[in-house]
Structure 1
Amino acid sequence: MFFTEDFLHYVWKFRLFDRTELKTADGEELEVQSAGLHNTHAGPDFHNARIRIGDTTWAGNVELHTSSSEWQKHGHNVDKAYDNVILHVVYNDDEPVILTNGRPLPTLILKDRINPELFTRYHQLVFGNQTIIPCEGSIATIDKLTMHNWLTRILVERLEKRSESVIAALNKNRGDWEETFYQFLAANFGFKVNALPFELMAKSLPQNILAKHKNNPLQIEALIFGQAGLLSVEIEDDYPRALKQEYAFLRKKYGLEPVDAHLWKFMRMRPQSFPTIRLAQFAGLVVQSNHLFSKILEVKEIKNLREMFSAIPVNSYWDDHYRFDKTSKPSSKIMGQASVNTLLLNTEVLFLFSYGKHLQIQHYISRSLKLLENIPAEKNNITIDFANLGVETETAFESQALLELKNNYCDHKKCLHCSVGIKILKPS
């Protein structure tokens, strides 16, 4: 069976090897007082280990390899960063190791000290014939406390990674949180299918221009539909003609260039999700709320956050239209709860977390996690698969964590870096 360095790291980290009468490859008595801290970055595998060899206690780094000859293959023999390694832990000892200062490196061989049953369980977990996730036959047996703690940790990992794009955009916007939030919110109004043109539209129409027309809804709508490129065709109805006339003046005044209209997608979409309706709703939100990000920071009640999106006023023209010049059966254009939840999840939660993380204000991080606990879980292939395995989700807190678990741990078979995998492998 295939032996991996990852497994060796796991065995060393949790000291899951026979520790009776330990000796180095040279026959010196050895005691592992501390395995050290696992280093997941460049450099030796474990830092700050504490080892007694003979009568001398050493503190320093430990390097692990499946075979000792890998020391040279990996170039450690010419890298002075490895001169402070105090112990080489290997499965097979096929070559002595000499440090760049000429000192022989003490070696611990684990080949005959690892329980074969432990390795068999690991091999079945990581290299088995599972179809969904490696631990699909065992995950339902994990206790709730272990599962909750692990999901919380990887949820924060997910938010930290996603917040990187927020901070990158914030830097481009010279530290302007309002403008950055406005751009992300616009992209999320596109709901994946039209996210790109929505984002391009927002970046082509700075929020400070919209702020100058906050008391004139028609001009706000003209700017948004005009920059979306949807007013460049011949139009007959009075409302869009008024928009076109307003936009012609404002475009010249501000030197604006609209996005290409062909970027917008209408095909195979429910009319309620047509980009024209989303743009109308976005315009209504801009009219209704200036300084949106400041309002998000101030609003403490989740129901009030929902109300900001679920009660967006749109121009009455859209009561019986989905596109310009095409009358339709009258219908409400109020945004549905599923869409509101998506906006809360992908914008409000993300920005509260990013803001708190960037400024080191725990209050906003906690609010972002609390908000997730009050948003229903998403229904997708991943959450359905986990439900079939006995892992139910009720909130977005759980479903977002499961997305991170599946995409960045299960799919890469990082079972030895996962609390669930470690719990399953842990000797009884």
Structure 2
Amino acid sequence: MQEAFLHYLWQFKKFQLLNLKTTQGQDVVIINSGQHNHLSGPDFFTTQLKIDEQLWAGNVEIHIKSSDWYVHNHEKDPAYQNVILHVVWEHDTDVFRKDNTVIPTLELINYIDKQLLDNYYQLFSKKQTWINCENEFHSTPDFLLQNWLERLYIERLEQKSLAITNLLVKLKNNWEAVLFNMLSKNFGLNINGDAFLSMAQSLDFSIIRKLQNKPEELEALLLGQVGLLNKYSDVPYEQHLLKQYLYLINKFQLNNNHVTQPQFFKLRPPNFPTIRLSQLAILYHKNDNLFSKVMSSSSLEQFYEIFGVGCSAFWETHYTFQTVSKTSKKILTKNFINLLVINTIVPLKFAYAKQQGQDQVSELIDLMTQIPSEKNTIVKKFNELKSMPDSASVSQALLQLKTEYCNSNKCLQCVIGNRLISK
């Protein structure tokens, strides 16, 4: 038995409500179960009850056993002195206020439907499955699942919006700088995302602005800042970039002491950090006001046009400085741009609209439904359990479901788990 289950029972009144009695035989009528408190203090605020003929308004505390009140030292905490009802699974001792009056106790074990209890134990007893509802997930009605996934995706956007707001404060309300930081991280993908982000955070965005009309210097800055320019190299282009980078170090008083050097290991050549940083430099060279362009664009085709950039001439015949390769323009693919839209553009547009007091949720979800579902192990596994719509909004929602609910056994807060327990 978990306290979270008792919170669920109380919040949604999933127990017999007629003829409730305290352990001392007093009649209990629940008028309002109150507001669930997820912080410190009693579990439910502003609860309204009638105990015998007396109306009460106050807080409710919930425990597995009555004696947990003393285990948690609530008798010493003033925040618990206005508890009007102690809700427990098993009553094993009376609990007193400071004035020695007994706090009424409701023992739930006597009022729970056996089928609901069996459903609860069945759902949480599956230790060897990928998710608790693995065997029942396929039976979730499509309409219920669709609505839950949309709520999950909005929840994911809200979480990302909070991170963007924190970044905005750190970057002194410069939205262009926020975009540069986010793009840098996502140009690095999973393996080099943190390294690219550390590079972006080591630079004042004003430097990027000053170098936008000088693509070679901009490329030298990005490659040099992550430590990809070798001073012992005999490659003329690398020597040329290094010379420019050393000049920029002196001019802008740069240091890269806290920048993580990116990796090449386990990467396909198109994702090599040399290529991605050159493409990032060209992107900013071709777009003076990238943030404004992103905010004013709404269709996938517009984003394909903005981000459909290649790399500098040297990288059309190289993936590393030392090795010559077959000539290729190395233009950002639509699949890569889709990832930028999913992980950078849509969260940024959501956060910006929220700050401006606007609601763009419907437009952003429409945009995400035009993008195919992401390919990863979580999305693949969910599709094995039940066929899912092929859209990025769904794949993002599934990531939210697995990481924020399934992995933490938050079935009681999940619409699917709630249905299985209550059926």
- TM-score normalised per structure 2: 0.92
Q: In structure 2, give the amino acid aligned to 1:281.
A: Q
Q: In structure 2, give the amino acid aligned to 1:425.
A: I
Q: Cα distance 1:292–1:275, how it changes in 2: closer, same or farther (>3 A)? A: same
Q: Does 1:421 align with 2:412?
A: no
| Aligned counterpart, 2:10 | 12
Q: Does 1:105 align with 2:103?
A: yes
CA RMSD, 1 decimal: 2.3
- Farther-moved stretch of structure 1 (374-383 vs 27-36): 27-36
Are the counterparts in 2 of residues 60 and 84 from structure 1 also a CA contact under 8 Å? Answer: yes
Are the counterparts in 2 of residues 387 and 393 from structure 1 also a CA contact under 8 Å? Answer: no
Identity %: 38
Alpha-carbon separation, structure 1, partners of 2:233 and 2:50: 85
Alpha-carbon separation, structure 2, partners of 1:379 and 1:74: 46
Are the counterparts in 2 of residues 182 and 292 from structure 1 also a CA contact under 8 Å? Answer: no
Alpha-carbon separation, structure 1, partners of 2:415 and 2:73: 32
Q: Cα distance 1:91–1:258, how it changes in 2: closer, same or farther (>3 A)? A: closer
Alpha-carbon separation, structure 1, partners of 2:164 and 2:33: 38
| Alignment counterpart, residue 288 of structure 1, candidates 282, 286, 289 | 286
Q: In structure 1, give the amino acid aligned to 2:331.
A: I
SS of residue in 1 equivalent to 2:46: strand
Alpha-carbon separation, structure 2, partners of 1:278 and 1:169: 23
Q: In structure 1, give the amino acid aligned to 2:374.
A: E
What do residues 234-258 of structure 1 show as CA deviations (whole Å, max 9, x unaligned)?
4555544443343343332222335
Alpha-carbon separation, structure 2, partners of 1:28 and 1:117: 27
- Farther-moved stretch of structure 1 (78-87 vs 244-253): 244-253
- Farther-moved stretch of structure 1 (208-217 vs 336-345): 208-217
Q: Cα distance 1:137–1:362, how it changes in 2: closer, same or farther (>3 A)? A: farther
Q: Does 1:215 align with 2:218?
A: no
Q: Shift of the alpha carbon at 1:28? A: 2.0
Runs of 4+ in 1 over 6 A off after TM superposition: 259-262
- Farther-moved stretch of structure 1 (47-56 vs 251-260): 251-260
| Aligned counterpart, 2:348 | 351
Alpha-carbon separation, structure 2, partners of 1:298 and 1:11: 47
Q: Shift of the alpha carbon at 1:373? A: 2.5
Q: In structure 1, give the amino acid aligned to 2:342.
A: L
SS of residue in 2 equivalent to 1:182: helix
Q: Shift of the alpha carbon at 1:52? A: 1.3
Alpha-carbon separation, structure 2, partners of 1:338 and 1:270: 14
| Aligned counterpart, 2:20 | 22
Are the counterparts in 1 of residues 167 and 178 from structure 2 also a CA contact under 8 Å? Answer: yes
Q: Summarize the alignment of residues 26-425 of structure 1 with structure 2, pairs less than 5 Å apart.
A: 26-236=24-234, 238-258=236-256, 263-309=261-307, 311-357=308-354, 359=355, 361-425=357-421
Q: Cα distance 1:112–1:285, how it changes in 2: closer, same or farther (>3 A)? A: same
Q: Which runs of 5+ in 1 are unaligned?
A: none
Q: In structure 2, give the amino acid aligned to 1:201.
A: M
Alpha-carbon separation, structure 1, partners of 2:260 and 2:63: 56
SS of residue in 2 equivalent to 1:27: coil
Q: Shift of the alpha carbon at 1:77? A: 1.4
Q: Which runs of 5+ in 2 are unaligned?
A: none
What do residues 362-390 of structure 1 show as CA deviations (whole Å, max 9, x unaligned)?
33455444433332211111111111111
Are the counterparts in 2 of residues 352 and 367 from structure 1 also a CA contact under 8 Å? Answer: no
Q: Cα distance 1:260–1:53, how it changes in 2: closer, same or farther (>3 A)? A: closer
Q: In structure 1, give the amino acid aligned to 2:357.
A: I
Q: In structure 1, give the amino acid aligned to 2:16.
A: D
Are the counterparts in 2 of residues 229 and 259 from structure 1 also a CA contact under 8 Å? Answer: no
Q: Shift of the alpha carbon at 1:190? A: 0.9
Q: Cα distance 1:315–1:117, how it changes in 2: closer, same or farther (>3 A)? A: same
Alpha-carbon separation, structure 2, partners of 1:287 and 1:362: 31
Alpha-carbon separation, structure 2, partners of 1:61 and 1:356: 37
Aligned positions, number: 423
Are the counterparts in 2 of residues 299 and 305 from structure 1 also a CA contact under 8 Å? Answer: yes
Are the counterparts in 2 of residues 142 and 420 from structure 1 also a CA contact under 8 Å? Answer: yes
Q: Shift of the alpha carbon at 1:189? A: 0.9
Q: Cα distance 1:194–1:30, how it changes in 2: closer, same or farther (>3 A)? A: closer
- TM-score normalised per structure 1: 0.91
What do residues 127-183 of structure 1 show as CA deviations (whole Å, max 9, x unaligned)?
124511111121222222322222222223323333333223222222222112212
Alpha-carbon separation, structure 2, partners of 1:258 and 1:19: 65
Q: Cα distance 1:18–1:337, how it changes in 2: closer, same or farther (>3 A)? A: same
Q: In structure 2, give the amino acid aligned to 1:377.
A: S
